[in-house]
Structure formats: structure tokens, C-alpha cells
Amino acid sequence: MRKLQMVDLGAQYQKIKKDIDDSIQAVIDSTAFINGPEVKNLQNELESYLNVKHVIPCGNGTDALQIALMALDLKPGDEVITADFTFAATVEVIHLLGLKSVLVDVDYDTFLMDSERLKSAITPNTKAIIPVHLFGQCANMDEINQIAKEHNLYVVEDTAQAIGADFNGEKAGTIGTIGTTSFFPSKNLGCYGDGGAIFTNDDKLAHKMRGIVNHGMYQRYYHDEIGVNSRLDSVQASILRVKLPLLNSYNNARRQAADFYDAAFANHPSILIPTRNAKSTHVFHQYTLRITNGKRDELRTFLEGKGIPAMIYYPVPLRKQKAYDTGNYNDAEFPNTDRLINEVISLPMHTELDKEQLEFIKQSVLEFFSSYSPE
């Protein structure tokens, strides 16, 4: 059996090696390393894949979030609401810009922002909401957009984990005011270094963000505003151009592995499988179980002993991270996040999992629990 990994980028590369190698070599031969035609071509191809008016490539998914917030002209102290249960980048950029983060609980079944908690977190200072399409499916964008409309708020969709997912037939990241994504190697559409992109249908915001990514320059050496240096390089763009046409088949392969896991664990008394949101397709950036008998950490150790990696995404709620702990939160408002951090475990999930590997993972998980189930 091939060695199990959380993500098997090596096996994926072997299948597309010639195209990848040729595309990298072509960029080197062209010497158009920054802002070359490959970046523009990728931009056009992403615009058509996502059916969105503007794609702005940038350096990484964290910059994409920061640039999106910079474009919204928020003032220090303005509040941005996001989920307590997500990767830290989402909240980090809020603080970097001198804004105030307001964290809300997630739904226990989908791991996604809870719309009721969102509503009650809105104050007169709230200016934006960042729903995170965590683990590969979309937060409830109907409800979130409706709430945003009622309160005149911007919506920035963090689509780093859900590129290619659909919500009511629209692509994740194109439903709110702005969408952002990451091309970090392990993401569903990953390059071989850092990369990211921003999406919007708003012409004005797109123009502004194209300036911000490049030092606030709209005309060479005329700086109209404070920007950043956040560019996608041409080598990464050329790799992404090879992989974008494969994204749907990659997401299907992930879904097939998830279907296998679902069937294996659906009726187990100590395991809850991830709930799929009816309006969203799921592209399974992660396949995350909840272990309800308190033995999650022991399961992880057991699996590691068998050569099966498993990860805890995420072990600490953002509101309890040293960097973001304001002491202003009431734990009673976060029952789901506080439960999830003790129950979640993510199994290997990637495009190259074969039947033998999946079967071994299934048998190993079931073997662990057989020693605990009452006979």
C-alpha cells in the first residue's frame, strides 16, 4: 500500500508531470517572472470558471483577505464579524488593519457560521461579515446576504477551503461583495508555493484592489493610496493553469473518498459524519469526523501507530488564542465551537486516495472503537 498522507501532492504531480514541467520551463524561457502573460491568462480562465466579472491574483490567501478589507475603506474600531472556529488568517487581517474582530459560534453539524449568532453580534459599528466556507462547503449565503442587506454590511467570503463549490448554482466566493481564496499547495486548487486571488462582480472595488495589490499604483510610479506588494508570480500561475481544468475532477475524487468514509461511519454510535449543507455542494477540503465518546485523542494516537495521519482542525477557538483573547467573550455563547475542538478529527483527504488505502483507514478506525463498544 502507498504511504498514507493527509495530502499526497507527489502522487498527484506524477500524473501531470509533463504538463507541469513544460509550463514551468516555458516561464523560465520567457523570463516574464512577474505579471507575465501566464498571470493574465489564469485570471481570464478563473473568471470564466467562476463566472465572475473580476479575478485579481495576489500573493496568498491571507493577503487576499487583507486587500479585500482594505478596499472597503473601514475605519479603526469598525467591527468585522467572523467565525470563532476557523484558521487564524481570517481574524489576523482584521487586527492588522486596526479593526475590531467579533467572533461568533458555528453550527455544530456543518462547522459553519451560525446565522442566529451572527444576527445577535451585529452592532451599530459592524461594517462587514466574513463567512468562512470551512472544510469545503459554503456557509448559508442566502441568510448571510439577507442579514447583510438589512444592516448594510459588506460580505467577504473566505473561500480558501472551498474553491469550486457551488451554492444554489453559484460558485463559492462570487456570492458576497468580495470573495478570496488561497492557492497554498494543499488547498483544492494548489500551486507549488504561495498564491491567492480575490473575486468580485463590483467594477469599482475591482479597480481599487488591482491598485492595492501593486503599491496603490494605477499609473506607474503614481501612488494614489497605500497598498501592498502582493503578486502571484508567473511560475505559480502557469502551474495553476495546468491544474484549473482538472479542478472539477479533483473535487469529484475528494467527494468519492468522502462518500466512502460516510458509508463506513454513518451508523457508528461514537462517530458523527460531516453534515452536508443542502444548498451547497461539498468539495471536501477536509473530511472531518466528530468523535462523541471522548476518545478522539486516543483514536488519533492509535491511527498514527498504524501509519495513518489524522489532524485536529482546529484545537483552539480563535477567541482563546493568546493573540486574540480579549477577555470579552462569554463562553456560554460558544457551545458548539467549544464542543467541536474536543471532538473533531480530520482523516486523510486528497485526490489520490485508492480503495486499498480507504479500506485500511476504515478498518483501522472501526478496530479502535471495537475495544470500547459494549458487547
Ligand X SMILES: *Cc1c(COP(=O)(O)O)cnc(C)c1O
Does residue 119 have an active-site annotation?
no
Of the candidate spans 85-93, 208-216, 287-295, 319-327, the one that interacts with ligand X by CB under 6 A turns out to be: 85-93
Which of 39, 42, 72, 89 lies at the binding interface for ligand X (CB under 6 A)?
89
Cα separation, 250 vs 243, in Å, equals: 9
Residue from 127, 187, 208, 243 carrying the catalytic annotation: 187
Question: What backbone phi and psi angles, to 5 degrees, belong to 285?
Answer: -60, -40
Answer yes or no whether residue 87 interacts with ligand X by CB under 6 A: yes
Least distance (Å) between residue 28 CB and ligand X: 24
Least distance (Å) between residue 158 CB and ligand X: 5
In the numeric block, the cell 459524519 is attached to 273
Cα separation, 265 vs 311, in Å, equals: 18
Q: Which residues contact 128 (CB under 8 A, 6 or more apart)?
A: 69, 72, 74, 78, 80, 81, 153, 154, 155, 156
Binding mask 49-78 for ligand X (x = CB under 6 A): -----------xxx----------------
Show the cell assigned to 108: 455544530
Answer yes or no whether residue 101 interacts with ligand X by CB under 6 A: no
Q: Which of residues 255-314 bind ligand X (CB under 6 A)?
A: none
56 DSSP β-pair partners? 198
Q: Which of residues 157-176 bind ligand X (CB under 6 A)?
A: 158, 160-161
In the numeric block, the cell 479603526 is attached to 76
Binding mask 190-209 for ligand X (x = CB under 6 A): ----x-x-------------
Alpha-helix runs per DSSP H in 213-306: 234-243, 247-265, 296-305
Answer yes or no whether residue 182 interacts with ligand X by CB under 6 A: yes
Cα separation, 160 vs 134, in Å, equals: 8
Task: Please give the residue ranges that form the binding site for ligand X (CB under 6 A).
Answer: 60-62, 86-87, 89-90, 132, 158, 160-161, 182, 184, 194, 196
Active site residues: 187
